[in-house]
Amino acid sequence: MPTSFSRRTFVLTALALPLSTALPAYALSENEARKLVDEVVQDIQKVISSGKSDAAVLKDFEQLFVRYADVNIMAQYALGSDGRSASNAQKRAFADAFKGYIARKYGKRFRDFVGGRVEVQSTRAIKAGYEVKTKAYLQGQSPFDVSFHVSDRSGSDKFFNIYIEGVNLLLTERTEIGAMLDKRGGDINAVVSDLKKSG
> What is the full per-residue pLDDT of the chain (199 aa) written as tens digits?
444 444 444 444 444 433 433 444 457 899 999 999 999 988 988 887 788 887 787 788 778 888 999 988 899 999 988 888 899 999 999 999 998 888 778 767 666 766 778 899 999 999 889 999 999 888 888 999 989 999 998 889 999 999 988 889 899 999 999 999 999 999 999 999 999 988 6
Give dist(CA 7, CA 165) in Å, integer: 9
What contacts 5, CB < 8 A, 6 or more positions away?
Answer: 109
Closest to 96 (Cα-Cα) out of 108, 88, 106: 88
Residues 135 and 41 sit within 8 Å (Cβ to Cβ): no
pLDDT reported for residue 33: 95
pTM of the model: 0.77
CA gap 103, 98 in Å, rounded: 8
Structure confidence at residue 4 (pLDDT): 43
Q: Measured between alpha carbons, how far apart are the two ends of the chain, in Å?
A: 24
Predicted local confidence at residue 111, as pLDDT: 66
What pLDDT, on a 0 to 100 scale, did the predictor assign at position 199? 66
Residues 6+ apart with CB under 8 A from 101: 195, 196, 198, 199
- Containing 195, the helix (H) or strand (E) segment is helix 188-196
How high is the pLDDT of residue 94? 95
**DSSP code, position 156:** S
pLDDT at position 62 is: 77
